[in-house]
Structures are given as structure tokens and as C-alpha cells.
Homo-oligomer: A and B are copies of this chain.
Amino acid sequence: MAKVIANMSMSLDGFVADPSDGVEHLFGWYGNGDVTIPTATPGLTFQVSEASAAHLRSAMENVGALIVGRRLFDMTDGWGGRHPMDVPVFVVSHTVPDGWPRRDAPFTFVTDGVESAVTQAKEVAGDGWIGVGSKIASQCLNAGLLDEIRVDLVPVLLGGGVPFFEGLTCAPVELEGPRVIEGTGVTHLYYTVKSGETK
């Protein structure tokens, strides 16, 4: 069965974007190394350390679908119709945006909630991972649907912004791990959500 995994770059004080939605202080590790990692987006490659390359390759090889919120979809303008990871994307949204769905873009708009999105994503992902964004991650945690949390922990304090985890109704949530991968300018931490531990 496909695992549902939340993976985000996060500041030491728990934010995935600064108060202006900026990520420039969090994404430095995507460009501070010698190993080139291509993506499905023309012109977008990552230049990362060996350690981070293994982390990224593992994700890119295993991910089978993504679930994102409408806000991220809008902010990225739907990644131009093709996500850099080149997998089907399920957008949890109250409404379907104008001009969507498009026949040339594997984007599905899910208007009946995150549980439905996970069900639909599992149908297409096979044994692949289902990657979820931060807001979706908290909703999945609350629904008991999140299997793993992978934090790309960046050595910076942002002092505010968009938290990775917000609106948890199931806290405290006990985790197992982490497996630690030490990159350059980032520490990758892999946690497993303990099943049955949420209240």
C-alpha cells in the first residue's frame, strides 16, 4: 500500500515559509552542492550535496502522486501543468479553478476533502509514495492518514511565517526516529508516525 509522506524544508523554529511566503532562506540547500539533479521542469535542476542527492533521488524514484492545497497550486500557477516531480497531482480545493482540469496536465481537483484525495491518490500511485504539502499533512495527521514525516531542517530561525504543522486536533502525536541524513546546510530527518498513538 502506498505510504503517505509529508516532506518539507523547515526552519529550526518550525516554519516552511517566512511571513512574506518567501522560501529563499529555506531552499539554499537545493543549490549549494556539486551533484546535479534534473527535474521534469525545463531549466530547473538542483545542485546538491551527495547526501542530499541520495535523499532527493529516493523521493523522486518512489513518489507516485502528490496532494497539495489550492493555495500552493495558485502560488505556483499549477507548475505550468507539470509538477517538477512529474507525477499526478491532486489539488484539494473548494472549487475547480477556471480552465481546469486540462487534458494535457495530470491535475485532479478534489472538492470533497483530504480523505477523498488520499483515496484517489492511492488508486494511481500503486506502491509509490504519496507526497503531501504542509497544510495537507496536518489534515492527514488529524485523519490518521499520515505515515511519515520528512523534515529538511534548515539552520535558520525565521521568527514567523507558515508553520509546517498547524491546526492539529490529534496532538500530542508521537513519532519514531529520526533517521538522520546530514547534508550541507540542511539536516534530513525521517520520522514515522506511530500508528494508534493519535488521540
A residues adjacent to B (C-beta < 8 A):
11-14, 18, 25, 141, 149, 151, 153, 155-160, 163-165, 168-178, 180, 182, 187, 189, 191
Contacts and interface: CB of A to CB of B under 8 A. Distances in A.
A182 to B, nearest CB: 6
B159 A171 contact: yes
A69 to B, nearest CB: 18
A143 to B, nearest CB: 15
The count of identical subunits is 2
A172 B157 CA distance: 5
Nearest to A193: B157
Contact of A13 (B165, B169, B176, B180): B165
A128 to B, nearest CB: 25
Contacts of A149: 12
Contact of A191 (B151, B155, B165, B189): B155
Nearest to A185: B176
B172 A158 contact: yes
A185 to B, nearest CB: 9
Nearest to A197: B156
